[in-house]
Structure 1
């Protein structure tokens, strides 16, 4: 049976020009190398080399095997180098699942410097796991889960990366525009625009409206943040979003954030990963970089400064 070490012998003998030099290069005795060649020829049923004086000349079969060796051996060597990099955490594909609609803008700020710091690691963002990422994390379909609502389970770690405040955002024609805070009873006649998520997974419901026994007149779902906030600015409804995200959009749209109730609604973004992967360098590096890109620290201007 043809094996990798046979191809290495063929290539080395061709490169070195003699059995003696090839044996030294391969850290073999000349007799051991000659034995390997004879055994290979017996297995193949055809000679690989012919002697011409003191030199060896490849037969037609040997020429074919040498071409095969020159194609395959570099691939083996490259694969082994990659495996060493995988083992040491220097290379791989970081698969990120999103369980937070508005966090995509924040994630982009982290991915760019990460790709520069880890040129041998690719990043793949799986948004199809929105609000179902726990199963994907357990099933090794993703490596990191971005979520504001961690479910602590055996074998998983959730690392907090930044704090933020959930606020209500209104447009310039809304009666609450310019106010500092809003109360649940003030939204009973409102059109509330949210991402396409079940109400019991939304903070505006489970931490603000539902405990007060209130509900909006109409609940409208929109997938994209841009369209949602353009609708709000046009007076078509109100929305609940992170304050840092509203601050970024105030540079382009006339929006106003209000605190939810007297104390507000505080939240955190977490990165979830498997305990077994905690020591993988390129995963832990992403977590540390995410902490350094705390969006609340980068938007520190007055949220109404754009007006």
Structure 2
């Protein structure tokens, strides 16, 4: 089997002109170098050099091996340098998985200053509505998970970054628009619009409808916040979203925000990471930036 050592020896002999000089450059004895190459020649069944007096001349196999060495060694050296930079948190790609679908706009506002501060680190965002976030984090498919529902597993940590309130969004002329809060039974005659996520992961079901054993008249899904709220504004249903996002759209569309139950639904957004990555500088920097970012999130006391 051809190993990196063989490539380094062939390259060093070509560069320094002799086995003796190559051995000195590689900090090994000449006998060890010769033994290594003889073993390779035996395994390959062909010679790498032909001796001509005190000099060596590469055979056809040797010239090919030198060609490979000239191509591969710089790549390996570059890869080692880059991996060291990644290990020290100086370079790499931050892969973010999104389980909080309405939080995409918030994420963009955090990513922008992060990229300015870390020019050698790229950001890749995976936003899947059937996203297996914790599994992807454990399997190293992503490096950071944005989620409102942390699933604590050994080797993972979740850092809370902001609080928010889940609210009901209705058309401005809707009967509920003038109410202080909505009751679960108020949705029994409504079309409920949500993201295409399983109902057991939707707060409107788990924290509001299911405890009261209420089912909406119809449940429709939309992958796009803008389309969902356009549907609500046109009187085709109601939706549940974070207060901060709902109120932002109320400035652009004829919508109203209503609290879900008298006490409301309080939530938090967490950033999940692997414990083994705690020393990666750019990952720590992103979390600190996310925690310090003053976003107009609606709290439960809003």
TM-score, normalising length: structure 1: 0.77
Give the SS at the match of 1:13. helix
Deviation of the 1:171 alpha carbon: 2.2
Change (3 A) 1:37 1:296: same
Q: Give unpaired runs (5+ residues) of structure 1.
A: none
Equivalent residue, structure 2, for 1:15: 15
Change (3 A) 1:165 1:276: same
Q: After alignment, is 220-229 or 160-169 more displaced?
A: 220-229
Contact 2:192/2:237 (8 A) holds in 1: yes
Change (3 A) 1:163 1:118: farther
Alignment of 1:86-235 (within 5 A): 86-116=86-116, 117=118, 119-125=120-126, 127=128, 129-130=130-131, 132-177=132-177, 179=178, 181-184=180-183, 185-212=185-212, 214-235=214-235
Q: After alignment, is 219-228 or 230-239 more displaced?
A: 219-228
Q: After alignment, is 99-108 or 206-215 more displaced?
A: 206-215
Q: Distance between the aligned counterparts of 2:196 and 2:154, measured in 1? A: 29
Give the SS at the match of 1:253. coil
| RMSD value, Cα | 3.5
Q: Distance between the aligned counterparts of 2:243 and 2:254, measured in 1? A: 14
Equivalent residue, structure 2, for 1:48: 49
Deviation of the 1:129 alpha carbon: 4.1
Q: Distance between the aligned counterparts of 1:196 and 1:42, measured in 2? A: 62
Aligned residues: 297
Deviation of the 1:20 alpha carbon: 5.6
Equivalent residue, structure 2, for 1:270: 270
Q: Distance between the aligned counterparts of 2:156 and 2:290, measured in 1? A: 18
Contact 1:233/1:255 (8 A) holds in 2: yes
Q: Distance between the aligned counterparts of 2:133 and 2:35, measured in 1? A: 58
Give the SS at the match of 1:123. strand
Deviation of the 1:47 alpha carbon: 5.4
Equivalent residue, structure 2, for 1:290: 290
Deviation of the 1:56 alpha carbon: 5.0
Contact 2:169/2:239 (8 A) holds in 1: yes
Contact 1:157/1:274 (8 A) holds in 2: yes
Contact 1:118/1:282 (8 A) holds in 2: no
Equivalent residue, structure 2, for 1:243: 243
Equivalent residue, structure 1, for 2:253: 253
Deviation of the 1:211 alpha carbon: 4.3
Deviation of the 1:70 alpha carbon: 0.4
Give the SS at the match of 2:175. coil
Contact 1:93/1:124 (8 A) holds in 2: no
Q: After alignment, is 235-244 or 219-228 more displaced?
A: 219-228
Q: After alignment, is 120-129 or 226-235 more displaced?
A: 120-129
Q: After alignment, is 143-152 or 234-243 more displaced?
A: 143-152
CA deviation string 1:265-307 (max 9, x = no partner): 221111223333333434333322322335326x99xx9xxxx
Q: Distance between the aligned counterparts of 2:20 and 2:215, measured in 1? A: 88
Deviation of the 1:241 alpha carbon: 0.5
Give the SS at the match of 1:295. coil
Q: Distance between the aligned counterparts of 1:14 and 1:205, measured in 2? A: 72
Q: Distance between the aligned counterparts of 2:111 and 2:262, measured in 1? A: 36
Contact 2:162/2:269 (8 A) holds in 1: yes
